[in-house]
C-alpha cells in the first residue's frame, strides 16, 4: 500500500493570510476601459494629424504649382503682347521649339491679331493646362488653353502650345 505524500492544509482562522492572495478585481473593468479609450484617442489624434498634414501639404503644393504655371504663362503672353517674340520663343518648351524655328515662330505670331489683355484661370493638373481668356486688339475675345511642359534642366514650367 502506498501512501500519499503529506500536504499540509492551509492555515485557517481569523487573521491568517493565504500564501498566494488573489489580485483585486474591483475597478479592473474601468481601468481596462480607460486604457482602451486613451489608446483609441491617441490613434485618432495621430491619424487625424496625419490626414490634416496631407491635406495641408496637398493644398500648399497645388498653390505653388498654380503660381509657377501662372508665372510661365504670364511671361509668355506678356512677351507676345509686347512684341518681344525672341523672349516669347525662349519661354516655349523644347518640343515646341523643335516644331518650329525662331524665325518661323516670329513670322507666325507677328501675323496673328495682337493680344491686348488676358486673364488666367486655374491650373488643370490632369492635362497640365491653364485656361486663358484673351482679348484681342480688334475687340474679339477667345477662350484658349495654354498647355505646359517642364524644363528638364530647371524644372520650371514652359508653354508648349496656346490653342483654342
State the pLDDT at residue 147.
Answer: 93
The pTM of this model reads 0.64
Residue pair 137/127 in contact (Cβ under 8 Å)? The answer is no
Residue identified by cell 500500500 is 1
Cell numbers at 115, concatenated: 493680344
In the chain, what are the domain boundaries? 51-163
State the pLDDT at residue 26.
Answer: 61
Q: How far apart are CA 68 and CA 38, in angstroms?
A: 45
Run means of pLDDT, 10 residues per run, the chain, 164 residues = 68 65 62 80 78 67 84 93 93 92 92 91 90 92 92 87 86
Residue pair 91/76 in contact (Cβ under 8 Å)? The answer is yes
State the pLDDT at residue 16.
Answer: 64
Q: Per CATH, the architecture of 51-163 is what?
A: Roll (3.10)
State the pLDDT at residue 38.
Answer: 84
Amino acid at each position: 500500500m502506498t501512501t500519499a505524500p503529506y500536504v499540509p492544509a492551509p492555515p485557517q482562522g481569523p487573521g491568517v493570510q493565504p500564501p498566494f492572495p488573489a489580485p483585486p478585481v474591483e475597478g479592473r473593468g474601468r481601468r481596462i476601459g480607460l486604457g482602451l479609450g486613451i489608446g483609441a484617442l491617441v490613434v485618432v489624434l495621430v491619424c487625424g494629424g496625419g490626414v490634416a498634414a496631407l491635406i495641408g501639404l496637398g493644398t500648399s503644393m497645388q498653390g505653388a504649382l498654380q503660381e509657377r504655371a501662372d508665372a510661365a504663362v504670364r511671361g509668355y503672353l506678356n512677351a507676345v503682347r509686347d512684341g518681344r517674340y525672341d523672349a516669347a520663343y525662349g519661354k516655349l518648351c523644347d518640343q515646341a521649339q523643335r516644331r518650329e524655328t525662331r524665325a518661323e515662330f516670329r513670322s507666325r505670331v507677328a501675323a496673328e491679331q495682337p493680344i491686348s489683355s488676358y486673364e488666367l484661370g486655374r491650373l488643370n493638373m490632369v492635362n497640365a493646362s491653364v485656361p486663358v481668356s484673351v482679348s484681342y486688339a480688334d475687340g474679339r475675345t477667345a477662350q484658349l488653353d495654354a498647355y505646359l511642359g517642364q524644363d528638364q534642366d530647371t524644372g520650371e514650367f514652359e508653354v508648349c502650345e496656346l490653342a483654342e
